[in-house]
Amino acid sequence: MAASLGSKVAAGVAWMVVFKLLDRSIGIVSVVILARLLVPADFGLVAMATAIIAIIELLSAFNFDMALIQRQEATRAHYDTAWTLNVAMAAVCALLVAAAAFPAGAFYGDSRLGPVMLWLALATWIRGFENVGVVAFRKELKLNREFQLLLTKRIGVFLATISIALATRSYWALVLGTLAGSVAGVALSYLFHPFRPRFDLSARGELFHFSKWMVFSNLINTLASRAADLIIGKSLGPGPLGLFNLAHEISHLPTTELSAPVNRAVYPGYAKAASDEARLTGQFLDVLGFTVLLTAPAAVGIAAVAPLLVPLLLGDAWLEAVPLVEILALSGLLVSMRTNAGYVFLALGRSEVLTAITVLRFALVVPALVLGTVYFGTKGAAWTILGTSIVMLPVTHFFMHRVLRIRWAEYGSLLWRPTVATAGMALLVREYLTWAEQGFAASNPVLTLASAVVLGIATYVSCTGLLWVISGFPQSAEARAVTTLWSLLGRSRGS
């Protein structure tokens, strides 16, 4: 990417972005097939189970992989201890999930939930045995190996889930697909990395010292993230919850799914630059600019074409998800703009700052979700999540200002060109869809959607480029995109 990111980090970002593009492509195909084989209530039932399991698994949310990456001098004892603790905590969590299975069914009034949770408890236990050695792929910035590992696992889970769905046409495809993912994850982790962990607890004090804040932060963050599942599932039932969850997944495809691999790849680079404030600041601003340049048009574009995209992908049974996709896509954009800051706090060993931000988000979102869902249903829940994201963006960057002394003007210089270009793109695409639906493409929604996407891309690229030129060719994400494109073109000519 940029010079300040370093060649290894830039290569890692590239590998993780490519993985996520492939992963999401597989995910889209999977969602399209499953949405036509299953009903919304099937997705909602499994979402109820996974929400409860996610809360129970908070007992093991120490993020020892982050501690191993942040600790540059980590030894074999640290890795062995992390694996031992993961195994023990997975066993405890699996037992608790099994114990909660039938009480959860009684709570939601759905007897199917008990057996579902018992199978997912088995998946939780198996997942604890994954080879901790694969953390070294990230720490040593060998993300091409992690790319191969994750993609192989993704393909295996996809094939298993779709095969079971075709055979059963029931929610069991989602449950057994999750179990297959746990088994594949463990087997592949040992196949891809030669490290063989041993039972050891000698480094537990050092690992817990780093992770003590992470547990509380993960607890609050998971409760805030899963609050919608719990509240909608209890108040409205599995059908509306299934609609909401699938709308959330589709709407976040182009935002958090693009920013997540970037965050994953740059964290080791942040950890190495933690002692150099200027270097770390430069890396963070580079990543933020790159993230916004990619995710802003993708998120707003999804919202703009949602009335056409949802019925084409999922079928008419999912039409009620259209307004949810439009709202949640904008929330996904705001989330992608602030999540990378958390990795800066972790790299600096300031996990208490991340915890404070998470507590504030929880305090805002949970009561608002209860009121929004009870009085306005799934749309109320979606608007609540968007409103919380709007509030949390300046809050997060206020803490970034306190930690790295980044001025607000520096954010503005990064964000204004993609923002203006995205707004122009959205207005033009909406106008085009209105015209197309009344004109030549009224009977061909596939052609309408494809032409709208092409128009949106062309508009955004043109507007962004023009604004960059007018601004005097600043050294920004646009400059790096042009340099990268030119380099790729040069290589293709040379070959």
- For 188-226, how does the pLDDT look when each residue is reduced to its tens digit (9 = 90+)? 999 999 999 999 888 888 777 666 666 777 777 777 777
Q: What is the share, in percent, of the chain residues with pLDDT greater than 90?
A: 31
Query: Residue 409 contacts by C-beta under 8 Å, 6 or more apart in sequence?
Result: none
78/82 Cα distance (integer angstroms): 6
Query: Which pLDDT belongs to residue 5?
Result: 47
Does the structure show a pLDDT above 70 at 273? yes
- Mean pLDDT on 442-468: 88
| Residue 39: strand, helix, or coil | coil
Query: Which pLDDT belongs to residue 250?
Result: 82
**243 plus 309 within the same structural domain:** yes
Query: Which pLDDT belongs to residue 145?
Result: 79
**457 plus 336 within the same structural domain:** no
List the one residue out of 17, 39, 44, 27 whose CA is nearest residue 158: 27
**367 plus 252 within the same structural domain:** yes
Write the burial class of residue 486 (CB in 10 Å: 0-12 exposed, 13-18 middle, 19+ buried).
exposed
Query: Which pLDDT belongs to residue 123?
Result: 95
**139 plus 223 within the same structural domain:** yes
Distance of CA 337 to the CA centre of its chain: 12
- Mean pLDDT on 136-163: 82
- Mean pLDDT on 464-490: 79
393/375 Cα distance (integer angstroms): 26
Read off the tokens for 84.
């031992």
List the one residue out of 152, 146, 173, 171 whose CA is nearest residue 69: 146
228/245 Cα distance (integer angstroms): 9
**DSSP at 31:** H
Residues 42, 47, 49, CA angle at the centre, nearest 5°?
A: 105
List the one residue out of 415, 430, 431, 423 whose CA is nearest residue 471: 415
287/464 Cα distance (integer angstroms): 18
**471 plus 388 within the same structural domain:** no
Does the structure show a pLDDT above 80 at 442? no
Q: Is residue 253 assigned to a domain?
A: yes
Please list the helix, strand and coil fractions of the chain in percent, rounded to the nearest 5, in that order: 85, 0, 15
**349 plus 439 within the same structural domain:** no
Q: Is residue 350 assigned to a domain?
A: yes
85/87 Cα distance (integer angstroms): 5
Query: Residue 295 contacts by C-beta under 8 Å, 6 or more apart in sequence?
Result: 254, 255, 258, 259, 332, 333, 336, 337
pLDDT top residue among 130 and 338: 130
Query: Which pLDDT belongs to residue 2?
Result: 43
Backbone angles phi, psi at 140, to 5 degrees: -90, 5
Distance of CA 183 to the CA centre of its chain: 22
Q: What is the 3-state secondary structure (H, E, C) of 451-483?
A: HHHHHHHHHHHHHHHHHHHHCCCCCCHHHHHHH
- For 374-385, how does the pLDDT look when each residue is reduced to its tens digit (9 = 90+)? 999 999 999 999
- Mean pLDDT on 278-285: 87
Task: Find out whether 422 and 296 touch, Cβ atoms under 8 Å.
Answer: yes
Distance between first and last Cα of the chain: 22
- For 384-411, how does the pLDDT look when each residue is reduced to its tens digit (9 = 90+)? 999 999 999 889 888 888 888 888 888 8
Query: Which pLDDT belongs to residue 115?
Result: 95
**303 plus 432 within the same structural domain:** no
- Final residue of a domain: which of 406, 436, 457? 406
- How many folded domains does the chain comprise? 2
Q: Is residue 491 assigned to a domain?
A: no
181/161 Cα distance (integer angstroms): 9
Place of tokens 């972790």: 346
Q: Is residue 493 assigned to a domain?
A: no
**DSSP at 133:** G
Torsion sign (Cα): 94, 19, 336, 287: positive
213/219 Cα distance (integer angstroms): 10
Does the structure show a pLDDT above 60 at 112? yes
Query: Which pLDDT belongs to residue 440?
Result: 54
| Averaged pLDDT score across all residues of the chain | 84
Q: Is residue 494 assigned to a domain?
A: no
**82 plus 150 within the same structural domain:** yes
Does the structure show a pLDDT above 60 at 4? no
> For residue 28, what are the CA distances in angstroms to 84, 86, 158, 258, 310?
36, 31, 11, 14, 12
Torsion sign (Cα): 86, 196, 194, 94: negative
- Final residue of a domain: which of 382, 406, 430? 406
Q: 438: domain range?
A: 415-486
**77 plus 209 within the same structural domain:** yes
**419 plus 288 within the same structural domain:** no
- Mean pLDDT on 278-300: 88
Query: Which pLDDT belongs to residue 125?
Result: 95
- For 45-85, how does the pLDDT look when each residue is reduced to its tens digit (9 = 90+)? 998 898 888 888 876 667 777 778 777 677 889 899 989 99
- Mean pLDDT on 479-494: 66
| Residue 343: strand, helix, or coil | helix
How many Cβ atoms sit within 10 Å of the Cβ of residue 444? Answer: 12
- Final residue of a domain: which of 377, 406, 435? 406
Q: Is residue 441 assigned to a domain?
A: yes
Task: Find out whether 319 and 310 touch, Cβ atoms under 8 Å.
Answer: yes
Lowest mean pLDDT among 138-147, 241-250, 453-462: 138-147
- Mean pLDDT on 264-272: 76
Q: Is residue 7 assigned to a domain?
A: yes
61/71 Cα distance (integer angstroms): 18
**112 plus 194 within the same structural domain:** yes
List the one residue out of 65, 203, 88 whose CA is nearest residue 134: 65
Does the structure show a pLDDT above 60 at 337? yes
Q: Is residue 492 assigned to a domain?
A: no
Q: What is the share, in percent, of the chain residues with pLDDT greater than 70?
A: 87
Query: Which pLDDT belongs to residue 9?
Result: 55
- Mean pLDDT on 338-358: 83
Query: Which pLDDT belongs to residue 162?
Result: 93
**378 plus 465 within the same structural domain:** no
List the one residue out of 302, 296, 298, 301 whose CA is nearest residue 321: 302
Query: Which pLDDT belongs to residue 333?
Result: 87
